Structure 1
């Protein structure tokens, strides 16, 4: 059974400005350098008037991977993440996120929404984390969801700091 997670953040900046930063390759590379872990990289990137699609690779040092998750992989954990965002109206962007951990039965898929709200914008990630391992999969899903929540919080802080410094 999948573990559902919803991550919601607000910023004092309009959605258009947040979107421009979120899809900027220099920003993505800087964020990965700071938060991406070993082997982090921007694997592909495409932005045009119809929206954006980019693929990221994160690394997690084996020493910080929870033991139950470590039982699924040997060595560092590699996480591949594909995100899309498209303009769907004035001050609104919708998209998808897909996360894979090669060599494991773990994945996450979901929807992204960035929209103007009073005083700025709101970014929402609704995702479903799945780990297909009999008996312990649910516990691992909860751990993976916690790690995703933590990463999203760090990325949000990085993004807001980026916007404030360059806004």
Structure 2
């Protein structure tokens, strides 16, 4: 069983500017530098011609998790997040996202579409979260889905900040 993720975000910047940030190597390296104290590391960052494929990982403190989740963790809990964006063409760009963990059988994956909306832009994400743990997986899926959407909302703030600073 899985939990559906559907989220629409409105950016206070044109889609071309948002896409430019998402596919900019310096944007990702700057984010990693700001997150280094939280144990975030770069797995890979590939791109060119208005595309990007990036993967970052973070060791999570299982003691900071809800008891239901922390009891199910086996070994270290590492969250790996991937994002890929194609070129910006005809007022839009298509992307994908993935989240996997070690220590818990969690996966999330989906698609994203970034489109122009006048002086703003819209990012529409759809995907699924699956936690393959008998009996409690469904309860954890809801928590993970909430965390994924929180991460995406924080990404929005970082992207808008980057666009404003680099306009």
User: What TM-score, normalized to structure 1?
Assistant: 0.88
**Residues of 1 paired with 2:26 and 2:111: CA distance?**
24
Q: Is the Cα contact below 8 Å between 1:21 and 1:27 reproduced in 2?
A: yes
Describe the SS at the equivalent of 2:87.
strand
Q: Distance in 2 between matches of 1:2 and 1:39?
A: 28
**SS of aligned partner of 1:87:** coil
Match of 2:31 in 1: 31
- Call closer, same or farther: CA 1:55–1:129 in 2, change over 3 Å: same
Aligned equivalents of 1:152, 1:117: Cα separation in 2: 19
- Whether contact under 8 Å (2:77, 2:104) holds in the other structure is no
* Deviation of 1:86 (Å): 0.6
**Which has the higher mean CA deviation after the structures are superposed, 84-93 or 138-147?**
84-93
Provide the secondary structure at the position in 2 that maps to 1:133. coil
> Which deviates more, 150-159 or 69-78?
69-78
Counterpart secondary structure, 1:135: coil
Q: How does 1:1-167 map to 2 (within 5 A)?
A: 1-35=1-35, 38-49=38-49, 51-73=51-73, 77-87=77-87, 89-167=89-167
CA contact (8 A) 2:59 2:78 kept: yes
Q: Secondary structure at the match of 1:58?
A: strand
- State the superposition RMSD in angstroms: 2.0
Q: Provide the C-alpha distance between the structure 1 equivalents of 2:62 and 2:118, rounded to a whole number of angstroms.
A: 42
Name stretches of at least 5 consecutive residues in structure 1 with no aligned partner: none
Q: How many residues align?
A: 167
CA–CA distance in 2 between the matches of 1:60 and 1:80?
10
Q: Distance in 2 between matches of 1:40 and 1:154?
A: 15
> Moved runs in structure 1, 4+ residues, more than 2 A?
29-39, 58-64, 74-77
Q: CA deviation at 1:88?
A: 6.0
Bigger CA drift: 45-54 or 126-135? 45-54
- Could you tell me which runs of 5 or more consecutive residues in structure 2 were left unpaired when the two chains were aligned: none
Cα deviation for residue 7 of structure 1 reads 2.0
Distance 1:14 1:88 in 2: 12
